[in-house]
Structures are given as C-alpha cells and as structure tokens.
Amino acid sequence: MPLRTGRFLGRLLGRAAWYVLLRVRRKALANIAVAFPEWSDGQRRRTIKAMFRHLGMSLFEIAWLPNVTAETRDRTTIFDGVAEVIRLVDAGRGVIIFTAHTGNWEWISYTVGLWGRKLSVMQRERDEHGMNRFITELRARSGVGTIDRGSASSARDMIKAIRGGGMLAFVMDQSIRTESVKVPFFGTPAPTPIGPPRLAVRTGALGVTAVIERLPNGMQHAMFLEPFECRDSDPVAIAERVTREIEEQIRRAPEQWPWFHDRWKERPKWDVTGEEQSRRGATLPEGSAGSTQTP
C-alpha cells in the first residue's frame, strides 16, 4: 500500500476514534486543559481531533516502515543532529537518547537504526504478546535491539548497549510505576523516571534528547538536540532538562502527542523528592534505569 494511501486511511480511522472512544477523548481534553489553560474549548477540541488523526496515520506508518531502507530513508525523513551523534558513537562514546511519544516515535528508532550503528531501545513488555513480537521484529529489521524492562538481564544489557560506543534509548514523557522525581511539565510538577538519568551519570555517557515530527508535506523530521555530558551531573537536573526540551517540541506540534496519558498522575508510593535523590546519590538500583515504557 502506498504511504499516502495508508495515511489517508489512518486519518479516517482517527476521525472515527474521536466519535467512538469517548472516555479517551474526555481524558485527553482534560489533560490538554492543564497544559494550555489559556486556550478556548474549541482550540482544545480541534487539537485533540487532530491528535486522533495523527495516531491513526502513525499506525499505518508503522506497518509501512519495512519499505524504508538505508538507500530510500532520506526520501521520507529529514535528520537534524544525527550525524553528530553518529560521530560521537564512532569515536567510542556511549550515548543515552532521551526521547518521547512525539510524532511517530517508532519511525525515529527504525530510521536511525538504518545508519548501521548499535542502537537499543528499552521498553515495557506489553500484555499483547503478538504486538510485542511485531514491534521487536520490526525494530530488528533495521538493526535496533529491544530490551524488556524488568527482565533478568536488563541491567547487564543496558550497560552492554552503550559500552565501547552505542546508543540506548528511553522514553521520558510518562508517569509510570517506577522510582520518579517530580519536575515541571507545562508548569505543573509531573512524576518523571529517574532511572535513565542515573544510568547516564553512573556510566559517564553522553545524553541527547531526540524528538520527531511529521511535517505538513508528509516528511518526518527527526531532531537530535545538542548532546551533553552526564558524568558528575545531577540526575534530577538531567530529568528537568530533558522534560523541558520535550515540552518545547510538544508546544510546536501539540496534536502529535498522546494527551490521553495521565502525565501528572500521582504515584506516591514511587515518587522521590529531590532531597531524597541527593541523599541517595547516583547509584543505579537493579533494573531501575529501564523503567520507562513504550505503548
């Protein structure tokens, strides 16, 4: 199926979802009101409608991804900052990529994998085993490895992924049941996983925030922001920086972020304050660095 046709069908699917998934729609409208209290109800509704269409297109794009090769990649994707990250990896530096569910997040991992460098993605294993297998095998087609959070070998696999030059990616824009620290997100404190920043500090890896956006002409724009040193840094400060950079991208394309996620949801059992984080230092608990998730 041509990509253009798939996107058209995806928009139709998203339009139907707006009318059918009422609970998801209400949650998304409530969450976007927290982020943009100055917007009118009409503007919020238009954005959430566009979000449903975006997610519908993303589903078809993911199914279409195996058509992208190293030779054809640049016909569909614009890259900013990737060459610098590849240069650092080739020089033997380990790079931890902090990313988010902006744009089509599977597209960015697949196309960067086609550069032929070592790249692994941390994920929460899904309940649907068939979907797990599909996504894992899809990533593998472009050379991207998948590490399941909580697996017996996850801590070892994470260290191995960045040792001697390699990239390890985490999503950082969700409130999940893991040790977290609250950092500002659209002006409201949001629980944010602290494990990935701790891993970056402990290993002395470089950090970089990566986001992607579908442009009006259909091109995907993959952006790797300025890399930064993590050794001797404060993990909380890293979480704040990454969250701020993710927020900036969401503000640029608010319809390309899943507003139905409870980003500000309180999880008292798992939250740690900045003071507690300072007392604990940058020690990485077993498996905690892998405590981000991918839907």
Higher pLDDT, 271 or 19: 19
The pLDDT of residue 185 is above 90: yes
Contact 42, 29 (CB under 8 A): no
The pLDDT of residue 19 is above 90: yes
Stated as kind and residue range, the H or E segment containing 199 is helix 195-203
Stated as kind and residue range, the H or E segment containing 53 is helix 41-64
pLDDT tens-digit readout, 190-249: 999 999 999 999 999 999 999 999 999 999 999 999 999 999 999 999 999 999 999 999
The pLDDT of residue 41 is above 80: yes
The pLDDT of residue 125 is above 80: no
Q: What is the mean pLDDT of the chain?
A: 88
Q: Which ranges constitute the DSSP H helices of 65-152?
A: 73-76, 82-90, 105-113, 129-141
Classify 121 as helix, strand or coil: strand
Contact 191, 271 (CB under 8 A): yes
In the prediction, which pLDDT does 23 show?
96
Separation CA 192–CA 263 (nearest Å): 9
Contacts of 95 (CB under 8 A, 6+ apart): 85, 88, 89, 162, 166, 167, 168, 205, 206, 207, 208, 227
In the prediction, which pLDDT does 62 show?
94
Higher pLDDT, 123 or 241: 241
Q: Where are the domains of the chain?
A: 1-67, 73-290
Give the global pTM.
0.86
Give Cα 152 to chain centroid, integer Å. Answer: 23
